[in-house]
Amino acid sequence: MIFDEMGHMMDWVAPNGVLIFLGVTSFIIIVVILLFVLNQH
């Protein structure tokens, strides 16, 4: 029963997880670039 719920969760997370991963990754990249630019001064 618990494993069945896990299966449904994975089916829902698979497409949404990719969007979340891309969003977090792009956010981190932007933050790193901003820190790099600010530290140039």
User: Each residue of 4-35: pLDDT tens digit?
Assistant: 776 776 676 667 778 888 889 999 999 999 99
**Which pLDDT band, with edges at 50, 70 and 90, does 3 fall under?**
low
pTM for this predicted structure:
0.52
CA dihedral over 31, 36, 38, 39, signed as positive or negative: positive
- Counts of helices then strands in the chain (DSSP H, E): 1, 0
d(CA 41, CA 26): 24
